[in-house]
Structure 1
Amino acid sequence: MPESAAPPTLPRHHQLQLRPAATGDVPALVALAKDTFRDTYRHLDTAEDIEDHVTRNFTPAAFLALLEDSRTSLLLAALDVRLVGYAQVAQSPAPPCVSGPAPIELCRLYLRQDVIGQGLGAALMEAVHAEARRREGQTLWLGVYDRNERARDFYRRWGFVDVGTKDFYFGGRTYADPVMSAPVRPCGKMPALPPSFPQGTP
């Protein structure tokens, strides 16, 4: 986007809400997680492998367990009452390549295809930084599929850099996913970026 271009804005009469997930959100969150994963990887992986992954990982029980885990936060983006994006942040062990202090993992960050380009990605990333600060984190890190250049470009614009790799099991194979990290930004220190959305960390 040229610097002189105006950033995309939300459609008129729609209100963005960013909030923590609750148990009542689980059915809609399961559907959102499945849909956004399929949309992200449909041109990068086989349909069979994608369906196997979403069936195994995006279940009501899995999300209920995350909600009960004090080390994990699920953040939702909603337009009016419709869930359109989510992020998962966790105080999980960082791989050795992450050398920054007080690491916090950005496990997942996804948005529905039909709302990309409306500023929701930037808003959700700001919420991720806010949650990392609340948990007293100083370093955000994530793993991302190396063929998902759209996501990698987004994270680079937010200051993430490659620091190593970690194993990710998918479709009967183990991949060496790039690991990226960035400092947690202080309140009010967010970059002036095009609010495009990454469509996908694993």
Structure 2
Amino acid sequence: MPSAPLIRHATAEDAAPLAAFAAQAFTDTYRDLDDAQEIADYVAEHFQPGVVAGVIQDAACTTMLMTLGDQLAGYAILRDAPPPSCVTGPGPLQLWRLYLGQGLGARLMAEVNAEARQRGARTLWLGVYDRNQRAVEFYGRCGFVQVGNKEFLFGGRLYIDPIYAATLREPP
């Protein structure tokens, strides 16, 4: 019987396994949506252990890991970042990345919401590739609504990605 998922904050020792997981999750998510070389270039720039270690150590970020036994099953990164003007809710905090495997999204999102509230946030916001339909639907189920758009440069092309926001509510 598989163990229950455990969610914890990442440490410096998690940088290499998180980088490998993040690179694979990104590749798996976008392999049918974009050019393979552009995906590989993005992964090489953003998901190296040194880059991930910098994010883990960044005081503006909270990196959360979800594990099942000794296997990484998902992660999320909250980041203090200036919100775009379309995010008008109070106390905004960016949900910078959230990648999952094994259908555990609702559990990780509940922990993300709790962490965001603990950090004083009252609104979560994020940008997502509109062709990533699984993510768009997941965020919709989590209460996010589209509030605007932002530019995202990927592979030498400029994309207009939707921005979503959700008001954080206290748990029942």
Task: Please indicate the TM-score interval, normalised by the length of the shorter structure.
Answer: over 0.9
Q: Distance in 1 between matches of 2:154 and 2:2?
A: 40
Displacement of 1:15 after TM fit?
Answer: 2.7
Aligned-partner SS, 1:66: helix
- 1:163 maps to which of 143, 147, 150: 147
Alignment-mate amino acid for residue 89 of structure 2 = G
- 1:1-52: per-residue Cα shift (whole Å, max 9, x none)? xxxxxxxxxxx23231100001111110000000000110011001111000
Residue 176 of structure 1: how far off its partner (Å): 0.9
Matched position secondary structure for 2:84: coil
Q: Distance in 2 between the 1:93 and 1:13 partners?
A: 40
Alpha-carbon offset, residue 124 of structure 1: 0.4
Note if 1:139 corresponds to 2:123: yes
Query: Is the contact made by 2:77 and 2:98 (CA closer than 8 Å) also made in structure 1?
Result: yes
Question: Residue 90 of structure 2 corresponds to which residue in structure 1?
Answer: 101
Match of 1:70 in 2: 59
> Hey, what does 1:183 align to over in structure 2?
167
Distance 2:34 2:138 in 1: 21
Which structure carries more relative contact order (alpha carbon 8 Å, separation 6+)?
1
- What is the Cα deviation at residue 177 of structure 1? 0.5
Partner of 1:26: 15
| Paired position in structure 2 for 1:151 | 135
* Equivalent residue letter for 1:55: A
Per-residue CA distance 1:90-141 (angstroms, 9 max, x = gap): 11110011010110000111013xx23xxx1111001110110111000000
Q: Which runs of 4+ in 1 moved over 3 A?
A: none
**Normalised by the size of structure 1, how large is the TM-score?**
0.83
Distance 1:106 1:81 in 2: 25
* TM-fit CA distance, 1:184: 1.2
**Conserved 8 A contact 2:92-2:124:** yes
Secondary structure (helix, strand or coil) at the match of 1:177 reads strand
In 2 relative to 1, CA 171–23 (structure 1 residues): closer, same or farther, beyond 3 Å? same
1:54 and 2:38 are equivalent in the alignment: no
- What secondary structure does 1:130 align onto? helix
CA positional deviation for 1:173:
0.9
Structure 2: runs of 5+ lacking an equivalent: none
| Aligned length in residues | 172
| Cα distance between partner residues in 2 of 1:123 and 1:36 | 18
Q: Which of 111, 115, 121 is the matching residue for 2:105?
A: 121
CA distance in 2, matches of 1:13, 1:50: 32
Point out the structure with the larger strand share.
2
Greater shift in the superposed pair: 134-143 or 148-157? 148-157
Query: 2:75 matched to which residue of 1?
Result: 86
